[in-house]
Each structure stands twice: as structure tokens, then as C-alpha cells.
Structure 1
């Protein structure tokens, strides 16, 4: 951990009176704050706090360190502010969902690196929502409703959950006009995210729930799309996942009048107040780039 960062954590504990409160203030995990204090105490070779069941109190050594730490961090902030206009530089760690990342985030990252030659990006594509702080990640793109995690979010737009089938399948089996019509069709269940074998639709205030026993389950998105393209049955995916097939007329969008509410797409990061210039530069750039995607732009911005 950066040594200036250790001092920031130390002062946060001192000012709030506990490691839990410091973790909340800094938007970090309690374990990260505990490790930072332990490392600093080991570095200076003495205890900086007296522990009690209710509150931490600085030792005399801790009080002396706090005086020097505040002066040092103030001088550091002054030096950094003088360099705010400098171009962003350094390593940026980003994560995004697998398919969305391959189709869209890689392009945004490439354009960003071409604009900022002093930057490096470590892009991790994964469908797991990893903890940003514990994994040292600067920002993440997430699709879906956000949990109340304390992260800061910038909304990029939204995608929709859509129903698709190939023209050949529809020619042979007919086109469903309502969700209830799906009962007479072959439905392909994607099981990348485990759940009930049911599809939910909505029109106005009425919700339509289609429960079924699939003859085919596929745990991979490309597999679901391949089976749908080959004409086996009807699939349900996110709009950006099927966009190339819809544009090429390999698949047809069904039941669009019954689609549920759009699913929001956000960039999330640990803190806006202490955002590094490299993070701010990427966030601003990504917001502009994603606004140009039709599948993002067409969604409500609320």
C-alpha cells in the first residue's frame, strides 16, 4: 500500500475514533483499514492507538505522528494541485462483463489509450461482480440494478431483455403475438445465471409470467445464440448481445410490446471526491463513447 495512503487511513481512524467508521468514511473494507494500520504500526515500531471496546485513542507517539502526517499530506495536496492540468498517466485497472467487454469496452479502452499515450490499462473481462477495493480495481462497468454498496456510479444508459428467434423457425412454427403464445413453442433456456425456468414480461400494469420445462438448456451465451440462429427455438437475451444478429436479420425480435423495464448500465468506482486524474479522464471519455451506441442511447436516461 502507498505510504501516503497509510497516513490518510491513520488520520481517518484518529478523526473518526474507530476503524469501522474510518472504513465507512474512506469507502473501504474494514479489513483493508485494519491491515493498513497494522502495517504502519509495524513500520514506525510502536503502537499508535490504545484500544478500548468503544473507541480508539491516539498514544503520545500517535499524536506526534498525526501532526507530521497532516503537514505532509497538506504539502502533497499542494504539489498535486499544481499539476492537475498535466495529462493522465499511470496504470488503470478496469473490469467489465465478458460479452459486453469484448464487443464494446475493448474498443473504448483502445481509443482511450490512443488519446493518452502515458496511460496503461489492465482490462479484466468477467461476469463476476468482484469487490473493487479488495481487488485493487479502479472502476467497473456493471449491468443491472446496483446494490447499496457505497460505490459512486455514473449512468451510461440501459439495455433491454429481448426475445428472439430465427426467420426459419418463425416460418415453420409461427410468430407468437403474446407471452401466453410461447406455451406452444420451443424455448431455449440460458443458464449462465442460475434461476427458475421462467420469463417475465410486462405490458402496462400487468405482468406476464411464462414458466416452462425446456428441452434445451445452455450455460453459454454464444451457445444460446447459435442454437437460436440454427432455428431450434426461441431465446431470451440482452439487446446488446443479439444486436449483430438482429442487424444482419439472422434473428428477429419478438414481443417487443411486452418487454420489461430497461436494465441500467453504469460505471462504478470507489470515490468521486478522491478520484485520481487517470480515473476521471477515463470516466469522462467512456461516457461520451457509450452515448454513441444506439442500444445505449435509445434507452431512457432517468
Structure 2
């Protein structure tokens, strides 16, 4: 790349931008940002790569990632944009048929829909903030799904109780098609961050996307605990 070409890349957004995020987060909350970004930057194209796993930005040649949880890679530049919770929920139809568990231990008496991409073991951990204790419940799921969207669909259909992130079920909770339960036993919220490798020295396509993504995500009520 010549010096003039390099100056253009770093001063004006152009080229291919690769963005990654968890699958449902990307579908629900990143694609609208990507579309707005593309409308504002005609010289850029975007490759959106959504995975329910932790990606390696350098090895997989990714420009920007949305990470949920506490960051372990200290070499990345990160901007926190919000927080999310794990929410146990079910449809009104299921609740009418089977009732609402009052304590985590009562989940063993219910039909559980287990999203295996997010949960590696068939246990859910709960916190009793009043007592300062942690309770682990061993489950026997009636249905295991390797995609969160499938677990969400089954819960909406009234099959059973599931546990998903607040950003995954925020719209459904606000509409009343799903209802939360065991909220007194929720764990600590998890941070949502926009991460990248090059800091403010990143080229214009990366800097401009990060600026837009941070602004839009901080406005998003489904990843802002204070607005939920």
C-alpha cells in the first residue's frame, strides 16, 4: 500500500469491515446498526459473522467484536456499552398450565428447555442476595437446543421454562409473550463491550463503525439494566 493509499484508508471509511457478535445479539441488535452504517458509508462493505463462541480477532481477521461477559484478553481495546442479565422465563400459556416456581429448587418439577450453546452443563446457578448464598440446581431438561433461537421459540410456544439473556428475550418480555420468574435469585449482570485491536489508531472504517455502534448500543434498552 502506498503512502497516499494508506492516508486515504485512515482518513475516509472504505474497504471491507468484518464484524462479529453472538448469533441472536447480531440478528436482533447489530444488523440494524450495520445497515445504518452502510447507508452512511457507501465506500464500505460489511461482512457480519455471528457465532455463539468467543472469537479471536487476530487469528480470524475480525475488525470489531461484541463481547458479552468479563473480558479475559487484556490486549484488546474495549468500550463498555451496557449490561445484560440471565432471565428465567416462560410463556403465559405454560404458566397457566404448570404455575410459577417460587424457589430455584422447584425447577426440577418443571419442563426445562435447555439452550446448550450458552450453558455447557445441565445446571443453573442462582444467587440469593438477601442471604448472600449461591444455589446450584441440577436439571433434567425435557428439551435441549443447540441454538438459542430454538429455545426461545419453544418457550414462546408454551413448552416449558428456559433461561436466556435479557437481550435475547427483551422484546418478548416487554410484549408479555414471555414472563420472567425467580428474579430475586438472578446473578450479577454481565457487561456488554465493543472490542477491537488497534485502539484509536484504527483505520477510518473501524473507528467510524465503533463510534456508531457505541452510540446506538448505549441507547438500546435491552442491554441497559437501568431501562429494563
The residue number in structure 1 matching 2:87 is 162
Match of 1:73 in 2: none
Give the equivalent residue in structure 2 for 1:32.
none
How do 1:27-176 and structure 2 match up within 5 A? 76=3, 80=7, 86-176=11-101
Q: Higher RCO, 1 or 2 (CA under 8 Å, sep at least 6)?
A: 2
Between Structure 1 and Structure 2, how many residues are aligned? 224
Structure with the larger strand share:
2
Cα distance, 1:299 vs structure 2:
5.1
Higher helix share: 1
3-state DSSP of counterpart to 1:145: coil
TM-score normalized by the length of structure 1 = 0.68
Q: Which residue of 2 aligns with 1:197?
A: 122
Deviation at 1:267, TM superposition (A): 1.1
Which shifted more, 209-218 or 284-293?
209-218
Compared CA separation, residues 84 and 93, structure 1 to 2 (3 A) = closer
Secondary structure in 1 matching 2:219 = coil
Change beyond 3 A, Cα 1:271–1:87: closer
Could you tell which deviates more after superposition, 159-168 or 290-299? 290-299
The residue matched to 1:196 in structure 2 has which SS?
coil
Q: Distance in 2 between matches of 1:172 and 1:161?
A: 24
Instruction: Tell me: CA distance 1:201–1:143, structure 2 relative to 1, closer, same or farther (3 Å).
Output: same
2:136 to 209, 223, 240: 209
Corresponding position of 2:220: 293
| Greater radius of gyration (CA) | 1
The equivalent residue for 1:219 is 146
Q: Structure 1 stretches (4+) deviating beyond 6 angstroms?
A: none
TM-score in terms of structure 2 length: 0.88
User: Residue 207 of structure 2 corresponds to which residue in structure 1?
Assistant: 280
8 Å CA contact 1:262–1:299 kept in 2: the answer is: no
The 8 Å contact of residues 84 and 224 in structure 2, kept in 1 or not, is answered as no
Deviation (angstroms), 1:231: 2.0
The answer (yes or no) to whether the contact 1:192–1:221 under 8 Å persists in 2 is yes
When the two chains are superposed, the root-mean-square deviation of aligned CA atoms in Å is 2.4
